[in-house]
Structure 1
Amino acid sequence: MAPQSRQDLDPSDLATVLGEFTRRSIRLPATEKHSFTTLSVLHTLAHRGPMRLTALKVTEQITQPAITQLISRLERDGLVERRPDLEDRRAVLVQVTPAGAQIVQTRQRDRVRQFSQLAEALTPEERHAIGAALPALARMAALMDVER
């Protein structure tokens, strides 16, 4: 569905287009084959730094048992490691390992390559429109991270 061109932002059109774009971009072929949840956790840790399991549970929107099981598996695979929280010795932080960070970097390179190919099929005006929208989309993404 292509929304009509207009000056005002229609939140319904935005949700529809971004939802469809997200669903399709998640499914782009990748060198690294991992579940969406695994990739999301690795990406979160690579970009936000070490986190407690309780914080990861919130960002990833999964249950405590599910995040505990996932982190245990990722730890076994050498993609994350647990270490003591120096601010609270009772707590544990999870951090991405170099192997886990490499998966995130490889996925990013794959996407850049694929988006470059897709962008070649667009008109110059379409590429310009997307480029012009990126700062506003980045700001919206940052606003999503603000704790409410």
Structure 2
Amino acid sequence: MPTVRLSDQQLVGRFSLLLEQLVRRLRTISSVGGISASAASALGRLGAEGPLRITELAQAEGVSQPAMTQLVARMSADGLVARTAPEGDRRGVLVVVTAHGRDVLERRRARHVGFLDELLGGLDPADRAAIAAALPALERLVDSGPPPFRSPKQRENPSQEEEHP
């Protein structure tokens, strides 16, 4: 099979379209827990990084503090997160994932893995190998993302891996 040369603009356009299609397909199977994509993202960040202040979580997720406060209130009402006071700071509030929240995250991830496993299983070995070979570059691409979407913990330790649903 001949190698196809794409211009940078063509590469970005095709890559963007493919990501949009994949995300749309993943969202259609992500009904576990009945939570929104925003809630799943915040929950995943809290699960990976541990407790965060609402302002830190808002900054890391790229939303306003009032919007995150509302999202945390909904997630708390659903039993996905709890609010707790940090040691030595009675005025501060940390958001932590509950056992129910971890269960919802695990079930969502299992559905995603199952779906992607099915998709990849339908490809020929050469295509699977090409995707496997691209994973390190895709990981570097994600890690090079803009700082506003990294939490204070990630900015302190850039090598820390982050899990998202």
TM-score by length of 2: 0.75
CA distance in 2 between partners of 1:136 and 1:8 (Å): 18
Q: Give 2:57's aligned residue.
A: 56
3-state DSSP of counterpart to 1:95: strand
Find out whether 1:107 has 2:108 as its counterpart: yes
Letter in 1 for 2:125: P
CA separation in 2, counterparts of 1:77 and 1:30? 15
Deviations 1:54-77 (A, max 9, x none): 111122233322211221121122
Q: How far is the alpha carbon of 1:27 from its aligned partner?
A: 2.0
Distance 1:5 1:49, change over 3 A: farther
Identical aligned pairs, as a percentage? 34
Instruction: Write the distance in 2 (CA, Å) between the matches of 1:145 and 1:27.
Output: 27
Q: Which amino acid aligns with 1:51?
A: L
Which runs of structure 2 are paired with 1:26-37 in the superposition (5 Å)? 26-37=27-38
Please state how far the C-alpha of 1:87 moved relative to its aligned partner.
6.2
- 1:26 and 1:87 map into 2 onto residues whose CA distance is 40
Partner of 1:45: 46
Q: Give the gaps of 5 or more residues in structure 1.
A: none
Q: Any idea what the Cα deviations from partners look like across 1:69-112, whole Å, max 9, x if unmatched?
A: 22112112221111112364432110111110111111111111
SS in 1 for 2:93: strand
How far apart are the structure 2 equivalents of 1:8 and 1:83? 51
Q: Which secondary structure does the structure 2 equivalent of 1:82 belong to?
A: strand
CA deviation map 1:17-55 (0-9, x unaligned): 222222222222543322111111111111121111111
Q: Give the structure with the higher percent strand.
A: 1
**Alignment of structure 1 residues 117-128 onto 2, 5 Å:** 117-128=118-129
Greater mean deviation of Cα atoms: 102-111 or 4-13: 4-13
Number of residue pairs the alignment of both structures matches: 145
| Comparing 98-107 and 6-15, the one that deviates more | 6-15
Runs of at least 5 residues in structure 2 that lack an aligned partner in the other structure:
150-165
Distance 2:7 2:93 in 1: 46
Against the structure 1 CA distance between its residues 29 and 86, is the aligned structure 2 distance closer, same or farther, given a 3 Å change threshold?
Answer: closer
After superposition, the CA RMSD in angstroms is 2.4
Change (3 A) 1:48 1:145: farther
Q: Cα offset for 1:15? A: 2.3
Aligned pairs for 1:55-134 within 5 A:
55-86=56-87, 88-134=89-135
